[in-house]
Amino acid sequence: MGLIKQKICFLGGLGFFFVFLLFIGGCAPPVTRILSTPADWLTDFEQARQSAREKNLPILAAFVGLDWCPWCQKLEEEVLSQQEFLTFAENHFVLFKADYPQNQEQPARIKEQNKALAKKYGIDSVPTVLILDGKGNPLAKTGYRHGGLGPYLTHLQEILNKTTSSNR
């Protein structure tokens, strides 16, 4: 019961659905293969915002639970960890990843930052992908999409085209 209370306290007001997912995930055995965060992804949000302002690029913020969420793992495997995606992103985004692990330790500072970001942006399920400007203002919201890398890159390009034309 203590574990459930900790998870509910961690989530605060993020919604019943996310609590349910965490509870179900907490009942499942740990995933033996944990996907890592490549060096291309920042985990410090302030550093991502600063880099976005310096490079005049939007932030692609991925909110994931890589060690327990099957859809997050699919997004990671099919898109986010692929070299073609990382090459595309290098010219179009600053990459930021907020992970919400259940079976891994996470530095307290990152855990608190990610909790605050989930609350700020209303993240009630994962995976959620936000496109943010350099100040951290939301421009677009998406998540996992069927079809793999090619269609996802097309989808991101459409988002970029739309947000660029609306900012003119």
CATH of the domain at 147: 3.40.30.10
**Which is nearest to 8 in space by CA: 25, 120, 123, 19?**
19
**Which is nearest to 82 in space by CA: 129, 150, 144?**
150
Q: Per mean pLDDT, which range of 4-8, 54-58, 65-69 is the poorest?
A: 4-8
**How far is Cα 66 from Cα 152, in angstroms, rounded to an integer?**
19
Model pTM score:
0.77
pLDDT one-digit tens code per residue, 80-116: 999 999 999 999 999 999 999 999 999 999 999 999 9
In a domain, 21, yes or no: no
Domain of 49 in residue numbering reads as 39-166
Q: What's the structural domain count of the chain?
A: 1
Q: Per mean pLDDT, which range of 20-24, 70-74, 109-113, 131-135 is the poorest?
A: 20-24
In a domain, 137, yes or no: yes
CB contact at 8 A, 34 and 104: yes
How far is residue 96 from each of residues 6, 26, 39, measured CA to CA in Å?
26, 25, 11
**How far is Cα 31 from Cα 74, in angstroms, rounded to an integer?**
13
Q: In the structure, what pLDDT confidence band is assigned to residue 73 with cuts at 50, 70 and 90?
A: very high
- Please determine, for residue 8, whether its predicted confidence score (pLDDT) is greater than 60: no
In a domain, 29, yes or no: no
